[in-house]
Structure 1
C-alpha cells in the first residue's frame, strides 16, 4: 500500500468522528431504537455533506470517486459505533440513479436531504434480481424515512427502474431485533415513473459493493464487541483474580481473535480486488467469500462476547448485547451466509477454469 493510499484510509476513518460520539457511548443508538424512522435526518444530512453517500461514485456523477477500500474503512468505523443510518442502502441507490440518469433525485440523495431506497429484493435470501412487476419487495432498511423507492423491473430484455414516491404504494413495517425496522413494499404492476436506461450492470455492481460494505460493518461491530469483552475480562475479578487470567477464557478469546483476523483479511482482500478492477465471476467470488466469513464470525464473536460477560451480558442495560442484536439483523442483509457460500462455490470454480 502506498503512503498516499494509507493516508486516504486514515482520513476516511477519522471522518467518522463527525457522527460517532466522542465518548464512544451508545445513548443515541438506544434513544433511536423502536422509533420511526429509526435514524436522525440531521445525521443523514451530515453524511451527505461529508460526501459519504456518493463516496464510490465518480466525480462526474456528483460523487468523490474513492475506492472500495476507503468505503469499507468507513463502514467498519460506523459498525463499531452501531450507527443506524442506512448509508450502505443509500449508496446502492446512488449508483442506480447515476446509471439511469436521474440527476435531480440523485442530487438530493447525495446531499442527504432525501433518502431513496432500492426495492430490489423479491425473494428472501436471494441476491439475484428477478424483477417481476408488481411483486412484493422485502427487507427495505429504515423504510419509514424514505421519500422514494426505486423498483427494478425486467422489461423487453433489460432491467428498467420505476420510481415510486413514498405513499404511492402499500408499505408494511416490521421491527427488527436491533430496534430498527424493515419495510415491505407492495407496488402496483403499472405504477410509478419509468426511468431511462438499463440498470442491469449498475445494480449488480451496487449489490456486490453493498454486500462487501455490510461485511465491513460487521467487522467493525465484532471488533468493538471483542474489545469490550477483553476490557471486562481484565477488570472483573473472581476468587481474587482477573477473569482474564483463567486459561479457559484465554483460549476462547484467542479463538475469537483468530476469527477477527480472518474476517479482516477477507474483507480487505476483497476490497483491494474490487479496486484493482475485478468484475463478473471474480468480483462475485471474493465478495461472497468476505460476506460469508463476516456474517458467521460476527454472530459467533458477539454471542461469545455476551456469554463471557456473564449474567450482566444478557441484560438489555449492558451495551454488549446491542452488538449481538445488530449482528443478528445485519448478517443476512444483501445475502445470507448460506447464499454467499453457495455463490462463492459457483463463481470461484468458474474463475479457476
Structure 2
C-alpha cells in the first residue's frame, strides 16, 4: 500500500509541474500587455516600462518561470492586477459558493442517476436502456450555458417558479460556513433557508443534468456485470424478494467503482460551473475568473487554472487511494 501511495504522490508532483508550465506558457502567449493594463491606457511608455519592471516582465522567460514556480511552492498565486489583492484570498472568498453549487449538483446527479442506471440495467436492450444511453450522449454534448438559459426561460420567465440569478435576496444569514443553505439552518431561519434553496435550484439542476446521463450509464454498466454473477443467481434461488436481491446484493457490489465516478463528476462540475455561474450570476470562483478574463487579469486566470487543476488531481488521487483501500486487487496491481 505504501508503494502505491508513493507512486501516486510522485505522479501528482509531475502533473502539477506540467500544469505550472502550461499556465505560464498560455499567459505569455495570450494577446495583451498586463503592464499596459495596470498602468492605464493614457500612461506614458516610461510608466509602462516601470510597471513591467516591477512585475518582473522584463526578465528572461526562464527567470520569470523560476520566480513563478517558487511562488507556487509557497502557495503564493500573486496579486490581482485589477484589485491588487492576493489571488488565493480572492478565490478562497468565493470558493464556498462554488462548493455549495457543485456539491448540490453532485448529490442530485447521483440521486437521480443511480436509480436510472439500475432501471436501465434491469430493462437491458429495452426502451429505458436506450433512453439512458441517449441521455448520456445529450449530457456530454449539451453546452452548459445553453442548458442554463433554457432553464431560466422555462422556470423563471414562463413559470416564475425560481429566481433567475444571484445567490440570495435580501439580508443573508450570518456567515459561518460560507454555504448559504447551511448558514440559514445554523441560524434557525427557515425563510432564509427557503430563499437560499430557491436561488440554488436552477444552477444545481443545470449542473446535475450535465452529469446525470454519465452517472446513469456507468451505474447501468456496473449493474450488468453484477447481475450475471453466480451469487446473484444463488440469492434468487433461495427465494429472496427481487427488490432485496437488487438493492442488498447487486447494487451494493456495483457501487464500489462509483468512487471513480464521483471523482470524475466533481472534475467535470469544476469546469462546467464556470459557465453555469456566469449564466446565473452566481458569485463563485467561476464567475470571478470569467470577469478576470475580460479584464485580462492574468494572475487570476493563472491562479484559477492552477487551483482547479490541483483540486482535480488531488480528488482523483484520493479516489485512487480510497478505491485501493476497498479493493485489494488494485493494491496488488499497483496501478
Output the TM-score relative to the length of structure 2.
0.28
More strand by share: 1
Report which of the two structures shows the higher radius of gyration computed on alpha carbons: 2
Output the TM-score relative to the length of structure 1.
0.27
Which structure exhibits the higher relative contact order, with contacts defined as CA atoms closer than 8 Å and separated by 6 or more residues? 2
